[in-house]
Amino acid sequence: MTRKTSKGARNTKAVKSETNAPFLKNEELTVDIIGLTHDGEGVGRANGFTLFVQGALPGESARVRVMKLKKQYGYAKLLELTKKSEDRLNPPCDIFKECGGCQLQHFDYEAQLAWKRQHVVDNLKRIGKLQVEGEGSDSGQVEAGTAGKANIAGITVLPTVGMSDPWRYRNKAAVPVGASQDSKELIAGFFARGSHRIIDMDDCLIQHDDNDEVIRAVKRIGRELRIPPYNEETGQGVLRHVMARTGVVTGEMMIVLITNGKRLPRQPEWIEHIRKALPNVKSIIQNVNERDTNVIFGDETRVLWGSEVIYDELDGIRFAISARSFYQVNPEQTVALYRTAVEYAGLTGVEKVIDAYCGIGTISLFLARQAGHVYGVEIVPEAIEDAKRNAKLNGIENASFEAGPAEVVIPRWRKEGIEADVIVVDPPRKGCDPALLETILEIRPERVVYVSCNPSTLARDLRTLEDGGYRTEKVTPVDMFPWTVHVESVALLTRNS
């Protein structure tokens, strides 16, 4: 006992010497929560030291246990709320505390919208070094009145565009498959927070009802056919993931079975059972992924039954969607996002518009209805083929598409006489390639419309464009993913005279 205590004391001293914390690991204390991190953790302060507390909300006080300490901050477990926020909700989802799919179901929806807008504001300030005039907080704390608009170095940040009914919005579900720890039967659901432990799920409140029906049916069929679920640790088993896509307007459904190998045991029975259970299914696809990876899809995709694509509509524009197409998961908010992008483009019917990162042509076709001509570029050749097919599907002739790196294709277009009046970018979370930003600054279009899924890289790239002679006029955050920490934004930049 004496030895154990001595060893523990030595460890405690070692921990304390590596941190500036005024307390020790496993110590219990009370903290005031002053904000939220980009991951949705409460930002707590105690004796001038920062502790991140999962499940706590701004304005609350909480008794916590210190779990991990770094030099300048630490992590703590929420034990008890000594003061609750008026914005706290009882999460309607039974597995919210375990599942990693949503982070904010305990946070009032209007307060979420205000926080997401403030999150954009704070990133523009801290990362973009764009000065706030009269409003905004470095802490990210949600304060009264933050749902209004802010002025940041001339930038108007508008209220977050939310949903009237922020549930059942996702048209795509992609869930891992595994075995239950006790019975070893096939299960499917989302990973628990911070782990690869699957939380079995039959009903997800942010998924379209049809997607939930697909997941339930595939689990049941897999169990009936005794299909071995994939085991990450051993690399054995057959079924790795199941993906469901739903055309919200058309009602068409696609099912993708991602397998660990080309052979799908009892394939005819799979098809028969799925068609019987799900009459609206139009496409049953197999994707083969034999690699030891967290990436869902492998390189080989084949149709088991039905069509290669399903169809859906956005604002009257029809789209063919294949298994691996990038297609926004919230149709209602996608229309709001793209209408804002078109509005910011300021089109009169004669402009030449370049759509970088055009994907399957979704924004391009929205723009083409009001532009002279739209030129879309995307590095993924399959996406460009989809974009061409979607333009043809809608009878849109003033849009053309080319595969390749935007920073290579766009300068060549310029040499060929294509001078863009407007450039629209919709990059992945890592933001724009620096070479593309340089290309934009060389071409110097009148307007740049930046559609972003990551406030931090948006702020970084706006800083680069502002330094190169542009002024960011306004930003509209759009809540594409209610009850999660994610927020999309549309920014308008105009060229300085």
- For residue 297, the enclosing domain spans 172-314
Same domain, 71 and 205: no
299/194 same-domain check? yes
Q: What is the mean pLDDT of residues 10-25?
A: 67
Residue 195 confidence (pLDDT) above 80: yes
Name the residue among 417, 412, 410 with its Cα closest to residue 432.
410
* pLDDT score recorded for residue 299: 93
Q: Does 75 lie in the same domain as 181?
A: no
475 within domain boundaries: no
Predicted confidence (pLDDT) per residue in 440-466, tens digit: 999 999 999 999 999 999 999 999 999
Q: Which of 99, 358, 432, 453 is catalytic?
A: 453
Look at residues 251, 319, 313, 325 and name the one whose alpha carbon lies nearest to residue 282.
Answer: 251
Asked if residue 79 and residue 198 are part of one domain, the reply reads no
Mean pLDDT lowest among 151-155, 249-253, 350-354, 409-413: 151-155
pLDDT band at residue 184 under the 50/70/90 scheme: confident
| Average pLDDT over every residue of 204-209 | 97
- Please say whether the beta carbons of 358 and 379 come within 8 A: no
C-alpha–C-alpha distance, residues 377 and 420, integer Å: 13
**Span 167-189, average pLDDT:** 94
| Residue 76: CATH number of its domain | 2.40.50.140
For residue 69, the number of C-alpha atoms closer than 13 Å in the C-beta half-sphere is 21
* Beta carbons of 398 and 363 less than 8 angstroms apart: no
| 181 and 306 assigned to the same domain | yes
Q: Are both 66 and 182 inside the same structural domain?
A: no
102 has catalytic annotation: no
Would you state the pLDDT for residue 135? 53
Residue where a domain terminates, one of 314, 330, 361: 314
Q: Which of 197, 200, 199, 209 minimizes the C-alpha distance to 173?
A: 209
Tell me the DSSP string of 20-46.
--SS-TT-EEEEEEEEE-TTS-EEEEE
Is residue 340 a part of any domain in this protein? Answer: no
4-8, 113-117, 396-400, 463-467: least confident range:
4-8
* Residue 457 located in a structural domain: no
Residues ≥6 apart with Cβ < 8 Å to 136: 118, 121, 122, 125, 150, 152
Domain count for the chain, please give it.
2
Considering the domain architecture, whether residues 177 and 310 belong to the same structural domain is answered as: yes
| 10/368 Cα distance (integer angstroms) | 68
Helix (H/G/I), strand (E/B), else coil: 397? coil
Is the model's pLDDT at 9 over the cut of 60?
no
Say yes or no: 196 and 295 in one domain.
yes
Both 188 and 69 in one domain: the answer is no
Q: Do 183 and 308 have their domain in common?
A: yes
Say if CB 132 and CB 125 are below 8 A apart.
yes
In order of 188, 217, 280, the CA distances from 277 in angstroms are: 18, 7, 9
230 belongs to a structural domain: yes
Residue 401 lies in a domain: no
When comparing pLDDT for 170 and 16, which is higher?
170
Q: Do residues 67 and 195 share a domain?
A: no
The predicted-structure confidence for 60-92, as pLDDT tens digits, reads as follows 999 999 999 999 999 999 999 999 999 999 999
Q: Which of 264, 282, 314 is the last residue of a domain?
A: 314
Question: Considering the chain, what is the average pLDDT of its residues?
Answer: 91
Q: Which residues of 208-245 are buried (b: 16+ CB within 10 A; e: fewer)?
A: bebbbbbbebbbebbeeeebbbbeeeeeebbbbbbbbb
The answer to the question of residue 267 being in a domain is yes
Indicate which CATH number applies to the domain containing 293: 2.40.50.1070
Is residue 409 in a domain?
A: no
In a domain, 347, yes or no: no
**Do 38 and 485 contact (CB within 8 A), yes or no?**
yes
Residue where a domain stops, chosen among 60, 83, 106: 83
